Structure 1
Amino acid sequence: MQSANLPLPNAVLRFIQGALSMSDDQAGWVFTSYLAASAITLPIAQWLAGRHGLKVVYQAAIAIFVLGLLLTTLATTPLAFVGARIVQGAASGVLAPLSMGIALETLAPARRGKFGAVLTAIVLLGIASGPSIGGWVGEYYGWRSIFYISLPLSAFIFLVVNRLLQEKKAEKSPPFDFFGFGTFTLGMIGLQMLLDRGERLDWFASPEIWLEALACALGLYLFVVHVLTAKVHFVSKGLLKDRNFVLSTLIFFALGFVLLSTMALTSPMLDELLGFPPIMTGSLTIPRGVGLVGAFILMGRVREGLDHRAFVAAGVALVIYANWRMLGYSPLMDWRSVAVAGALQGAGLGVLMPSLGKVAFSTLDPKLRPEGTGFFNLTRVYGSTLGVAVVQLFFFNSTQAMHLALASHLTAYRAAAHSVTASMSLPALAGLNEMITGQAALIAIIDQFKILMWAMLLVSPLVIFLRKPVPTN
């Protein structure tokens, strides 16, 4: 439920924009606001549970999540809708790690070892199925109804937890590095706001952008100094000393950069530019989900003794190849091109994620694994939120540049263009401008797929420097 609600509005984004008078650059906030809020609350979930009680915190998170769902259905302005998504995301950042903690405590010890892979597959299934669910429901019942889906499920979870889960609270308040967490969060949120708001406010011509840039620089500077000088901090130095963990985390960040950015680009392209109905737009995310979950399940059957570095390399190569195929998208293509590229990318991600996790933790001190797991997953979340922000930013710049380039050919000095445009009415000229804008936007989207391909190409050499995994007990 938590992961499906992230991309749920993807297939009906056009209707949300129309109903709320939301501009194209604000549409990106639908995803980045949810992700950024989730990234803020995710690291403190365990601390909150230890201090106030697991059951209380979990039920509070469900209640806040439901509040966010209701606020999205009541929103009448872009700001109200984004605010509701922030409420949803903040609650989801707590629900994700605590759900895993509750499940691990409930399961028998013999079954806990494989549950991490099962949970990851479920999360991926949610991300992959969210747009198709949203597209189907939005097509027949309107876009607001997509947020009602989770209400009965949330109520059921709340009642089950209230009746069956025993309260658990730490005997003493667990320590937490609030200074390190605060400075890191300040830096990342400053960067997020800088990317999201820069284009709208004409970058450094605006005092707000200067303030956000200073917050980003100050936060990250203080965090780095804190990590290098303090004995106890938000990120253990032991994690940074393990080569496999560091390199795998960088690749995982790039994977997050590609994972949701592709969905944020593909659905608007199909819906707004190519005219696919929402139900079809949502359905075309299914091949990607099938490839992802299918490959992930197959990787679970791989023999433990094999060197997973080869699978990391294969997964990276497959994702790069899938993004290269996306560079061939055109207004004349049918659904098959999108389905094939999506299935290949999904298969690459499904191979890469589990193998990368095994390589990352195979050489890490077992004492550092709980902290490493949290940080490892946090980098994927930040990769996703920054990835969506970056591709949205370059998309608008590329669209404007391509519109200018295409429109420059419609001048009085070109006889064919002049003979047509000279006799056209204003509505016809507006239609011509809309057609040029659509062509420019499609070219710009393809350019963003190129950025995503380069993101994976840049981290691909890191695979060479991974050490052969040596499992630790």
Structure 2
Amino acid sequence: MDGPPSEAAGGGGLDRGVLAVAMVVVLGAIMSILDVTVVNVALKHLTEDLDASLEKIQWVATGYTLALATVIPVTGWASARFGTKRLYMISIGLFVIGSALAGLAWNAESLILFRVLQGLGGGMIMPAGMTILTQAAGPKRVGQVMSIVGIPMLLGPILGPILGGWLVDDVSWRWIFYINVPIGAVALVLSARILKRDQAQPAERLDFIGLLLLSPGLAALIYGLATGAAKNDFGRTDVLITAIGGAVLVIAFVAHALRPSNENPLIDLRLFRRRAVASASGTLVLFACSVFGAMLILPLYFQQVRGESAMASGLLLAPQGFGAMVTMPAGGKLTDRIGARKVVIAGLVLSILGAAGFATQIKPDASYWLIGAALFVMGLGMGMTMMPTMSAAMQTLSHAEVPRASTGLNILQQVAASIGTAFIAVLLTNQLKSEGLGGGGGGEGGGQTLPTNLPADVLQGILKKMSDAFQHTYWWSLVLLVVAFVPAVLMPRHRVDPSATDAGPVEKQHVPMH
């Protein structure tokens, strides 16, 4: 039977049709986001089982990330050209096939190849899913639906190490890939039954020049940042060439997309001239730089300073996820009711309090209760900041503008996360060097293993210097959050009136009843 129109009178709670669509989108998002973090804890096992160097195995993670960056820009065009439902199902299909093949990999080279295939599918899942859900709910309830999409986005980096650690230790590294197959199969079946049939637009042409500039540019920029962070050296020739070359290509794309004669750019950057979209984008970039960078180094603190395992470190991060789960639903509803600005500012205040806890409490013998409390407060802030910020931009867009805006916001988040992790990793590494400890903060699972036969007083002195380095780095994360207030206060003061946008008719979602 056909459910009620997605945009209920008054823009109240989410009806059954929208919740069903949300379930489909979250299933896809869980796979693509968890996969980024699940693999990280398995790198050591992969080097041993596949008899490959860590430098080569690192491409299992890097290849996936680069494939994401390459394919995300084309998602907006592909959504219009083929329809979002069809694109979403193709994306999940590619991801599932890549996952199954990755689980069957016989050497490092085959695994890297299949991870790239995974990334080509995974890169389109989030922007396509956000487009489907935003268009299904209509602008009055963007905040609520975006909070649903944000659950896997915020929990993935926390649950990934726990799940990955368990599968690698007690089952097999191959199951970090196989586990996606049943989830993806369910997502495909539900997508076929629940998502509405949308209309493709065959007349729309692909901006090939934009694609040739942006996709390689993003891939090169992210590769350069990731390599510089992993090697603890941004002065390397290969790092400078790729990062600067990527930045030049991205800048060239911006100039190309903003040309008056370019009527159909790959990503419509003119949307970012609007105050709501521009302020939300600025807030998102600064927040992602700070938070994703901070999330990188806290597990390193647990492992290097406190001697915890990868799985235990993941469990110790759980309070952050619980905090996000508490505020995310409420943050979405408040965004739709009073506007995003007040919600985001409150979220930034909570995030700053959490980061201040890290900057002052990270010590060799710090209470896990205090750290857990800081993580919980940080999670509360994250739940009220990231997705309401995206909602602030999406609420002002017409039905037709959503796909390209969703693509643009996902690109901004991906690049900001890469910049943030590289920036924080380099700061930590330099601080460790200034403490006389050499490099060791950056990279995947980077860090030094301390000798076990050191005298107690020498060991305590080293651990004190290490924790001081972590504390100092968190102050920079705190500064980024404070700066994020500047664009946040420029967001629309009140809730956006959807009637002021060319939202177009909101389609009904088909929800089968048996």
Equivalent in the alignment of 1:239 = 271
Alpha-carbon deviations, 1:263-288, whole Å to 9, x = none?
Answer: 32222332344222344222223211
Select which of 474, 484, 495 maps to 1:449: 474
Select which of 169, 174, 190 maps to 2:220: 190
CA contact (8 A) 1:136 1:278 kept: no
Bigger shift: 426-435 or 248-257? 426-435
5 Å-filtered alignment, 1:1-400, equals 1-9=31-39, 33-48=63-78, 51=81, 57-70=87-100, 72-73=102-103, 84-100=114-130, 114-158=144-188, 170=200, 172-198=202-228, 200=231, 203-204=234-235, 206=237, 208-231=238-261, 232=263, 233-236=265-268, 238-302=270-334, 304-327=336-359, 328-361=361-394, 368-400=401-433
Alpha-carbon deviations, 1:171-196, whole Å to 9, x = none?
Answer: 52433323224323333333222223
Distance 1:377 1:403, change over 3 A: same
CA contact (8 A) 1:403 1:437 kept: no
Gaps in structure 2 of 5+ consecutive residues: 1-30, 440-450, 500-514
Q: Percent identity?
A: 22
3-state SS, counterpart of residue 130 of structure 1: helix
Shift of 1:74: 5.9
CA contact (8 A) 1:242 1:364 kept: no
Residue correspondences, number: 451
Gaps in structure 1 of 5+ consecutive residues: 407-425
Query: Which TM-score applies when normalising by structure 1?
Result: 0.78
Shift of 1:443: 4.1
CA distance in 1, matches of 2:152, 2:176: 20
Alpha-carbon deviations, 1:408-466, whole Å to 9, x = none?
Answer: xxxxxxxxxxxxxxxxxx99579999988766654444343233222212222233333
CA contact (8 A) 2:225 2:239 kept: no
5 Å-filtered alignment, 1:396-415, equals 396-404=429-437
What amino acid maps onto 1:457 in structure 2?
A: V
Alpha-carbon deviations, 1:33-53, whole Å to 9, x = none?
Answer: 544432332232353355457
CA contact (8 A) 2:207 2:266 kept: yes
Alpha-carbon deviations, 1:328-373, whole Å to 9, x = none?
Answer: 2122124323321211111101111343234334555676444333
CA contact (8 A) 1:256 1:380 kept: yes
What amino acid maps onto 1:320 in structure 2?
A: I
CA contact (8 A) 2:140 2:336 kept: no
Shift of 1:249: 0.5
Bigger shift: 314-323 or 178-187? 178-187
Bigger shift: 261-270 or 344-353? 261-270
- Higher relative contact order, structure no. (Cα contacts within 8 Å, ≥ 6 residues apart): 2
Shift of 1:77: 7.7
Instruction: Determine which structure has more spread, i.e. the larger CA radius of gyration.
Output: 1
- Give RMSD over aligned pairs: 4.1
Distance 1:291 1:130, change over 3 A: same
Distance 1:445 1:40, change over 3 A: farther
